[in-house]
Amino acid sequence: MRRSVFLASLLVVTGMGLGGIVREPKSFVASAQEKAASTAEVKIDNFVFGPAAITVPTGTTVTWINRDDIPHTVVSTEKIFKSKVLDTDEKFSYTFTKAGEYPYFCSIHPKMTGKVVVQ
């Protein structure tokens, strides 16, 4: 009797453990997908932000990378974020935690404009 109770308990514990192992990779996959979805990139090249308008979910970190030969900046029109001068291949990131529209421009070349739409 004791032996069968012990075996049953062992089976239950083993089963729970296996379940945990099987389930755990799924949660890793889910969090990895969430992480992949929470970043976006805007390239600066030939005096253009590309894409000029980008729509992202709340919590997304947008990274601007300067692929131009000329220094540029990324400055929010509403003064929410502001990068330093980005030389070639330098990056600037900002995490958008609130929904809304965030227009921005390059303060060295004010004709260069872009927009981040956070939903």
Partner 1 sequence: MNPFDIKAALLAKHAQHVVLIHFPIALFIAGVVFDFLAQKTRKRGLAGAAYYNLLGAAIFAVPAVATGILAWQFQLEGQKLKGILLMHLVLGSTSTILVWVAWGLHVGAERQVPERLPIFRLGLEAVAVAILGLTAHLGGFLSGVNGPS
Residue range at the interface with partner 1 (CB under 8 A); choices 14-22, 23-31, 57-65, 80-88? 80-88
Q: What is the CA radius of gyration of the chain?
A: 24
Nearest-CA neighbor of 116 among 69, 74, 86, 84? Answer: 74
Under the criterion CB under 8 A, does residue 33 sit at the interface with partner 1? no
Q: Which is nearer to partner 1, 60 or 68 (CB)?
A: 68
Binding of residue 109 to partner 1 (CB under 8 A):
yes
Position 78 contacts partner 1 (CB under 8 A): no
Residue 110 within binding range of partner 1, rule CB under 8 A: yes
Q: Does 87 bind partner 1 (CB under 8 A)?
A: yes
Residue of 59, 65, 75, 68 whose CA lies nearest to 42: 65
- Exactly one of 63, 93, 107, 113 binds partner 1 (CB under 8 A); which one? 107
Pairing of strands 100-105, 75-76: antiparallel
Query: Rule CB under 8 A: is residue 52 a binding residue for partner 1?
Result: no
What does the per-residue mask of binding to partner 1 show for 58-77, with x meaning CB under 8 A? ------------xx-x----
Q: How many CB atoms sit inside 10 A of residue 4's CB? A: 8
Assess 103 for contact with partner 1 (CB under 8 A): no
Is residue 50 within 8 Å of residue 41, measured between CB atoms? no
Q: Are 63 and 42 in contact (CB under 8 A)?
A: yes
